[in-house]
Structure 1
Amino acid sequence: MFSFDTEKSSQSSEMIFPMYSEISFANILKKLEVPHESSQEVSILQNPDLEPIGPERRTWGLWSYAGYWGVLNLSVWTFSVGSSLLSLGLNIQQSMGALTVGNILIVLYTCLNSYPGETYHIGYTVCQRMVFGVYGSALGILIRIILSIVYYGSQAWLGGLCFVVIFSTFSESYLNMENTFPESVAMTTRDFIGFLVFQVISIPFFFIKPEKMNIFVNISCIMALFGLVSVFVYLYCINGGPGPIYYEKVELSASETGWMWLYAMSVWYGALSPDITNQSDFSRFSSSRKKLVIGVFVGIFFTEIIPLAGLISASCSLELYGESYWLPTDICLQWLQDNYSPRMRCACFFLGLSFLSSELSLNLLSNGFAGGMDLAGVCPRYINIVRGSIITALLSWCVQPWTFYNTSSTFSTVMSSFGVIVTPIIGIIVSDFTLVRRNRLRINDLYTTSKDGDFYFTKGVNWRAILCSLQLWFQVFQGWPLLQTLTSS
């Protein structure tokens, strides 16, 4: 018979495998928790990124908000938004009129939705607990996460096109690179390389605190303003006028024109609606309510020249090149194809760099950091803004953003549908905070699952708010097919 000394065996195994004796599943989970100080609490509802921010981080003033909202207009996408509006049958003047009315609504909704974050210095994720309950908040958070992923991919694709312009100024062979993708893939090898580089170069920026990005955003606004206006001025001058599209007459009845205005407003509002929805994520950095409101107004209205510049540039390019170029990157590539001289290469390099700066700052703040903040609300113990932003960037590949820019009709449908989804959430947040709660909140109750908390409602869910949202979505989606039918007829 063999005797087996369990004590000696245990000791010998610990000597051979000392590491395994110390590691447990609980220790692994502990190491995966978000970085935090010993005095900071991490739970299923709380981590340092979700807590109300202190006075030392409330540094955004008028120009910070002017830059944040200005960069939304000073971007490649905004320059090209006219393609969606003119496809509805409107002319340039009517398209700009619809944009102006849409901007009035955007400023109003943005300022109203800023107050929870500006007053209590909490983000959109925590505001959802106020409306839908500590558990029901997952509904609003998941919707915003999906929009962040979609928008991140969309803007990353445009950022990749900026890299295409920059790389093309270095190498004519890159400019004329042979496409190795099949025709069924709605992109070229050259464009894919630019998209990949933009995705990679964005990652290090996620390790910067969001409130520290304001200076970079303001610099990007200045660069993009000069770049986009330069493209417009150059095309206007060499063409000798605004081009044929500017003088086109509208062949719509008064009723049809009214519907087109409404649809054009929904396209523009829908494109910016995700940023309106999570405005509390950035209004919590505000140093003054007055500066916030003025900054939003300046950022939105004083950059309205860019959509107009894009419309007239497309009109000029139609007369000059026989094709309407809606993206400023396409215009630069056309110039390089026509004249690959050192002077033209230098001009296009700096233009591409200016476009890239705005796309990078826009995508980081409005989509990357926003998605990171929302994902932090889903799993606060293990996801913070940095980790959530990286996850958003990785998931953006799944939406295949290159397909968004195949046709203007597809693009406008996608953009306008976003407003339909998030507007009920905006309305409920504003109504609940201002009318029901009279701007008063018990902040501690937003971070507890106690049944005695103000936001526990019925087992953590405010079913009245959820049913209200479902009813609004049902009513809107009932009318949406009718509006699309009217606009397509």
Structure 2
Amino acid sequence: MQLKIPRPHIRVPQGESAFATGNARWTNRDLDPVPKHGRKWGAKSLVAYWISDALHASTWQFASGIIAVGLTYREAIGIVALSFFIISLPIAANGAVGAIYHVPFPVIARASWGFWGSYIAIISRVILALFWFAIQNVNGGNAVRVMIAAIWPSYLDLPNHIPESQGITTNGMVAFFLFWLLQVPFLCMHPNRLRWLFTVKSVLVPIAWIAMLIWAFVSVKGGGHVFAQQAPTVSGSKYSWLFLANMTSVIGNYATLSVNMSDISRYSRVNPRWQLLYIPMLPLIFTFFSFIGIAASSAGQVHYNLDSIPWDPLVLISYWPNRACRFFAAASFALASLGVNISANSISAANDFTALFPQYINLRRGQLLCAVLSWCLVPWKILESAGSFLTFMSAYAIFLGPIAAIMMCDFWVVNRRRYDCLALYQPNNPTYRFEFTVPGLGETVHGTNWRAVVAFLVGVAPNVPGLVNAVNPNVDVGVGIHPFQFGWLLAFFATATVYMALSWLVPAVETQVPRAVLCDEVYDEEGTVVDGVEADDEDRKDVLSSTKEKPGKDV
């Protein structure tokens, strides 16, 4: 008699909606449009989300690299404000698509790239999300390390058994693991249930940071040496190229959200026009919190008579004599890293993994997979040199700029805000099939919009010499380094121009639907109640029975 050992179900449950029936290769419950019953994010939640997203160690340190190359704090503040104004435009524009159609980034990408072509955008985005998740783990681990040291001072004296070349110590690795472990319960939660986390963070962390700003101006009159610098130490063309290079670095920090804001906005229950709030809000909040980093770090140098400015906030905190203050200040940075790691990184990566393997991965599994892979990236090695880290962020932004441009132009200009939501889940539907005959071969290819691929290559190509030099400084590319120094802007506008030109000269007429087909009317006509929904999917138990938008409305 053969003993049968039951095997766990590795496939994720498939929904029974009109979008998912017989289509397990391209969707599951977490990729289906969010029904009205599952849209929990109001205006306050969106504001709290962005305040929360701005609060992490990288925002505090934005100005450090800018000032280190010879620019003043005025240029640093101006670069941060200008960079976030620029990046807020595609964030708001692409986020509005999610708020209208209630689908995630990987599904929206099918409209402009095609079903198979969308993998170019998805894989490009998931790589950066993984790197950022890993890097925030290091930042959060460093905060936990300071917290433990405030309670147990001898913790820092633990014997180190890790080689110095690895860029981390034994006590640092322990703290890294503890912070990583702390995130796991939150990674298992549905985004709708994480609104409270972002709200708590948007209240507690600003209080701690503003208290540090007050300490800076009370403890040191004038704020420190940084504010005494009247003029930059560079001028002429060098000044211009440094300005552009640093602006590209700042934009690169939030390049992912310029393409994947819909992963959050799909849960919005408010008018899509609320996405416009990001345009004034993002420059204001990010610039303010960056200024706190400048003021507190500069004051710390003077107050503790240090040879260099302690740009790392956790280094500054470690000089405080009061152990309780050290603990709670470090706790604010741990909470900051926790919140942004989920809001900007793990949810994004999870949506990408879900789109790549919808039969086996849902949002929960995707976030846990992101957490596991973060160890493989050895992020402490990446952060060992701040210069190499900024170079990496600048380099990768050149790939995400074209993706954001294609999606933005396709929705707002080429298709005039009209998508067929149901066709985005039907690979055999002619609307987004993108069939074309390969010249010279006579073979018909489908699933990839060649216009998007060509525009993407045109946007990336001018930056390749600079990218090669960034990877290997020994390779001299001469003036070829300059396009790379404003790579995101160049890639974005070059791609947008080429994509719109190709769409005008050789239009994909099948994608230009006469009216927008919203998910609500599809649910109304063909949706069914989903049975067997898991506990954390209870927001999706009922499909829609009514909608504010009327069928056929030109949104």
Q: TM-score, normalised by structure 1?
A: 0.88
Letter matched to residue 392 of structure 2: V
Of the candidates 334, 340, 355, which is equivalent to residue 319 of structure 2? 334
Residue aligning to 2:2 = 17
Q: CA deviation at 1:456?
A: 4.5
State whether residues 52 and 198 of structure 2, in contact with CA within 8 Å, keep that contact through their aligned partners in structure 1: yes
Letter matched to residue 464 of structure 1: R
Letter matched to residue 157 of structure 1: V
Unmatched tracts of structure 1, length 5 or more: 1-15
Residue aligning to 1:477 = 464
Letter matched to residue 141 of structure 1: I
1:460 aligns with 2:447: yes
Q: How does 1:21-420 map to 2 (within 5 A)?
A: 31-36=9-14, 41=21, 43-248=24-229, 249-286=231-268, 287-294=270-277, 297-319=280-302, 320-322=304-306, 323-335=308-320, 339=321, 344-420=322-398
For residues 411 and 127 of structure 1, the distance between their equivalents in structure 2, rounded to whole angstroms, comes to 30
Gap change, CA 1:346 and 1:382, over 3 Å in 2:
same
- Write the deviation string for residues 23-66 of structure 1: whole angstroms up to 9, x where unpaired: 7xxxx69x211134566646110101111111122222332222
Q: CA deviation at 1:485?
A: 6.8
State whether residues 66 and 296 of structure 1, in contact with CA within 8 Å, keep that contact through their aligned partners in structure 2: no
Q: CA deviation at 1:171?
A: 0.4
| Matched length | 459
Letter matched to residue 390 of structure 2: S
Q: CA deviation at 1:378?
A: 0.1
State whether residues 13 and 28 of structure 2, in contact with CA within 8 Å, keep that contact through their aligned partners in structure 1: no
State whether residues 451 and 459 of structure 1, in contact with CA within 8 Å, keep that contact through their aligned partners in structure 2: no
- Write the deviation string for residues 84-142 of structure 1: whole angstroms up to 9, x where unpaired: 21122211111101111112112212111123212111110101211211112111111
Q: CA deviation at 1:78?
A: 0.9
State whether residues 271 and 418 of structure 1, in contact with CA within 8 Å, keep that contact through their aligned partners in structure 2: no
For residues 104 and 54 of structure 1, the distance between their equivalents in structure 2, rounded to whole angstroms, comes to 32
Of 50-59 and 149-158, more deviation after overlay is shown by 50-59
State whether residues 104 and 266 of structure 2, in contact with CA within 8 Å, keep that contact through their aligned partners in structure 1: yes
Letter matched to residue 82 of structure 2: V
Of 283-292 and 297-306, more deviation after overlay is shown by 297-306
Aligned to 1:89, the other structure's residue is in SS state: coil
Letter matched to residue 446 of structure 2: K
Aligned to 1:32, the other structure's residue is in SS state: coil
State whether residues 89 and 279 of structure 2, in contact with CA within 8 Å, keep that contact through their aligned partners in structure 1: no
State whether residues 179 and 188 of structure 1, in contact with CA within 8 Å, keep that contact through their aligned partners in structure 2: yes
Q: CA deviation at 1:238?
A: 2.0
Gap change, CA 1:262 and 1:395, over 3 Å in 2:
same
Letter matched to residue 389 of structure 1: Q
For residues 16 and 399 of structure 2, the distance between their equivalents in structure 1, rounded to whole angstroms, comes to 40
Aligned to 2:464, the other structure's residue is in SS state: helix
1:429 aligns with 2:407: yes
Aligned to 1:412, the other structure's residue is in SS state: helix
State whether residues 70 and 300 of structure 1, in contact with CA within 8 Å, keep that contact through their aligned partners in structure 2: no
Unmatched tracts of structure 2, length 5 or more: 436-444, 470-478, 486-555
State whether residues 83 and 326 of structure 1, in contact with CA within 8 Å, keep that contact through their aligned partners in structure 2: yes
Please tell me whether Structure 1 or Structure 2 has the larger radius of gyration of its CA atoms. Answer: 1
Q: CA deviation at 1:295?
A: 5.1
Greater relative CO (CA pairs within 8 A, separation 6+): 1
Gap change, CA 1:74 and 1:427, over 3 Å in 2:
same
For residues 34 and 152 of structure 2, the distance between their equivalents in structure 1, rounded to whole angstroms, comes to 47
State whether residues 259 and 486 of structure 1, in contact with CA within 8 Å, keep that contact through their aligned partners in structure 2: no
Letter matched to residue 311 of structure 1: I
Gap change, CA 1:239 and 1:176, over 3 Å in 2:
farther
Gap change, CA 1:236 and 1:175, over 3 Å in 2:
farther
For residues 134 and 381 of structure 1, the distance between their equivalents in structure 2, rounded to whole angstroms, comes to 16
Gap change, CA 1:455 and 1:63, over 3 Å in 2:
farther
Letter matched to residue 306 of structure 1: F
Letter matched to residue 392 of structure 1: C
Aligned to 2:32, the other structure's residue is in SS state: coil
For residues 215 and 224 of structure 2, the distance between their equivalents in structure 1, rounded to whole angstroms, comes to 13
Alpha-carbon RMSD across the aligned residues, in angstroms, is 2.2
- Identity score, percent: 25
Residue aligning to 2:537 = none
State whether residues 113 and 448 of structure 2, in contact with CA within 8 Å, keep that contact through their aligned partners in structure 1: yes
Aligned to 1:302, the other structure's residue is in SS state: helix
Of 265-274 and 175-184, more deviation after overlay is shown by 175-184
Aligned to 1:263, the other structure's residue is in SS state: helix
Q: CA deviation at 1:154?
A: 0.6
For residues 275 and 42 of structure 2, the distance between their equivalents in structure 1, rounded to whole angstroms, comes to 6
Gap change, CA 1:403 and 1:279, over 3 Å in 2:
same
For residues 250 and 480 of structure 2, the distance between their equivalents in structure 1, rounded to whole angstroms, comes to 15
Gap change, CA 1:269 and 1:405, over 3 Å in 2:
same
- Write the deviation string for residues 416-436 of structure 1: whole angstroms up to 9, x where unpaired: 223211000000001111111
Q: TM-score, normalised by structure 2?
A: 0.78
Question: Larger helix proportion, structure 1 or 2?
Answer: 1
Gap change, CA 1:299 and 1:467, over 3 Å in 2:
closer
